[in-house]
Amino acid sequence: MSYSTRQTLSSIFLMAASFVLSLSAATLSQAQAVIEHYDGVLGTSLDITIYAPDQSNTTNAIEIAISEIAGLERILTTYQDDSELMQLNTSRTTTSSSEALINVMTACEEWFIQTEGNFSCRLGAIIDFWDEAEETQQVPSRTDLSPIARTANRAEIIIDSEQRTIQLGDGIQLDPSGLAKGYIIDRAMDALKTIPGVTAIKVDIGGDASYWGTPPDSNGWEVMVANPEFTADNGDFLTSLSFGSKAVATSGHNSRKRQILMREFSHIFTPQTGWPVFSGLYAVVIAEDAMTADAIATTLSVLPLPDALATVEALSGVEALLVDESGAQRSSSGWNQYLSEELLLLSSADFKLTLDYSIPSQGNRGYERPYVAIWVSTMSNQAIKNLILFGGEQRWAGSNSRWWRFAGRRSTVEKINVTRPTRGPGEYQLVWDGRDDSGTLLQAGDYLLHVEASREHGGHSYKNIRFTFAEGTQVMEQAQFGEVGAFKVTVEMSPAEE
């Protein structure tokens, strides 16, 4: 979520690798697509796509937008000692602040208050502390960091937009990286909207982006959501989205980490303590503008999952996808409306997985009924849904070792759909609608259904069955194995009516 740069405007243009692609649009005969790519902008890449009738006007507007980005960078960067922001950190007060600095710091303080301190632009001293720790390879002490964070959170910032002044209280060092990139994206978008006849625009800086209008011959912009574990540029995506004029921002802990003495630390900090977030969320946010999406994504990445979901649901015009450390996904109530057309059809499809299985009697005296766990995962064993658990007490849960390792350790018995003492030997049936705990239907692809059983003073048995989330009917049968009798899996899926 943060932006950084070590390059001046002149070096940006020297290092930029750009290209222009012009295409005739079938439905808008005058529209031309202009696509530009630059490296070294805000320490990352810049991608601009514009559909407009006059290519020369578009090229001129892009140059203005690039100049706007570079000018805002000179104001807001923490990587240049002579930037306006860093001069404020040194002098502690300004008498003629730029409009950009006033706007960004006002937004910072509004989000600081609205999120009860979970979003903060006051962490400059904390970041400096960790920068030095990384350089010297000395892990900081929590007792050293807490007073720094506490002082910054309690200090006062006085912003007078009419007089264009900002005064910093003691202990505050500003670092607005949690939303500055979004602010810059929004200003670049404003500059590009002035192009005569423009019909659609994309401004993407390092994966955070603002989209406006609708590209020709489409129902909206198609946006792929990167997997937090496998961030390839061309595949293994979590999902795909489609929308018109919206902004998207992503915050996560895997892309950039500090390494100190063989230990890895997130670059995102808990504002209240100054300590890196442990096991934080990967957050993808859709909002009306890029600065809002940026700030909210940063906020969600420091919150526990239930608090993050509650935060999103309380905000108007905001939706989010959240992924926890296990890979489990949760989304806000309106997220599905932005799924791509294919996934939107899948999300309303009629899906049913039926498992018919039996638990055979071993026929010996003193037979103890087995503990049974059944769950669904991705092909990489990331648990998606606990379907049923027989046994009833947490103390025995670890005896189903695979379930405990991949699905149970991150749950409690009370959270699982069905839990009861194991019935006697006989025939059983389990059905599932293909949705996770948040009510989101699976995406197209292959998954694993796991069946595991263990018995006190007895054996341990485990099998998985691969199935495909796709239209049609699949039937898979498994012969008896150990504690579990023969079973049959039937997967049925019919498309939604359009």
Question: CATH number, domain at 116?
Answer: 1.10.3980
Instruction: Find which of 33-42, 416-425, 454-463 is predicted with most confidence, using mean pLDDT.
Output: 33-42
Q: What is the pLDDT of residue 289?
A: 98
Q: What is the pLDDT of residue 299?
A: 97
**H or E element in which residue 47 lies:** strand 44-52
The mean per-residue pLDDT over the stretch 108-135 comes to 96
The mean per-residue pLDDT over the stretch 285-309 comes to 96
Look at residues 126, 149, 168 and tell me which one is the last residue of a structural domain. Answer: 168
- Judged against a pLDDT cut of 90, whether residue 223 lies above it is answered with yes
Task: Give me the domain span that covers residue 455.
Answer: 349-494
Residue 30 lies in a domain: no
Task: State the average pLDDT for the chain.
Answer: 84
Q: What is the DSSP letter of 139?
A: P
The mean per-residue pLDDT over the stretch 234-241 comes to 75
Residue with the larger pLDDT of the pair 443 and 329: 329
Q: What is the DSSP letter of 436?
A: -
Q: Rounded distance, CA 367 to CA 376, Å?
A: 29
Residue 379 lies in a domain: yes
Q: Rounded distance, CA 198 to CA 212, Å?
A: 10
- Judged against a pLDDT cut of 90, whether residue 302 lies above it is answered with yes
Residue 472 lies in a domain: yes
Residue 445 lies in a domain: yes
Look at residues 168, 193, 211 and tell me which one is the last residue of a structural domain. Answer: 168
For residue range 88-105, list pLDDT tens digits in order.
999 999 989 999 999 999
For residue range 22-64, list pLDDT tens digits in order.
333 333 446 789 999 999 888 889 999 999 998 889 999 999 9
| Plot region of 164 (φ>0 → left; ψ -120 to 50 → alpha; else → beta) | left
Residue 79 lies in a domain: no
Look at residues 168, 200, 227 and tell me which one is the last residue of a structural domain. Answer: 168
- Judged against a pLDDT cut of 60, whether residue 461 lies above it is answered with yes
- Judged against a pLDDT cut of 70, whether residue 14 lies above it is answered with no
Residue with the larger pLDDT of the pair 194 and 362: 194
Q: Rounded distance, CA 85 to CA 93, Å?
A: 10
Q: What is the pLDDT of residue 329?
A: 81
Residue 136 lies in a domain: yes
- Judged against a pLDDT cut of 70, whether residue 403 lies above it is answered with yes
- Rounded to the nearest 10 degrees, the angle between the axes of helix 84-91 and helix 55-76 is 20
Residue 206 lies in a domain: no
Residue 185 lies in a domain: no
For residue range 154-181, list pLDDT tens digits in order.
999 999 999 999 999 999 999 999 999 9
For the chain, the domain total comes to 2
The mean per-residue pLDDT over the stretch 111-135 comes to 96
Residue with the larger pLDDT of the pair 10 and 309: 309
- Judged against a pLDDT cut of 80, whether residue 259 lies above it is answered with yes
What's the whole-model pTM score? 0.75
Q: Rounded distance, CA 149 to CA 126, Å?
A: 7
Residue with the larger pLDDT of the pair 255 and 133: 133
Going by pLDDT thresholds of 50, 70 and 90, the confidence category of residue 226 is confident
Residue with the larger pLDDT of the pair 22 and 244: 244
The mean per-residue pLDDT over the stretch 55-83 comes to 94
Q: What is the pLDDT of residue 378?
A: 85
Q: Rounded distance, CA 87 to CA 173, Å?
A: 11
How would DSSP label each residue in 66-129?
HHHHHHHHHHH-SS-TTSHHHHHHHHSB-SS--HHHHHHHHHHHHHHHHTTTSS-S-BHHHHHH
**CA end-to-end span of the chain, whole Å?**
38
Question: Residue-wise over 311-349: b if at least 16 C-beta within 10 A, else e?
Answer: bbeeeeebbbbbbbebbbbbbbeebbebbbeebeebbeb
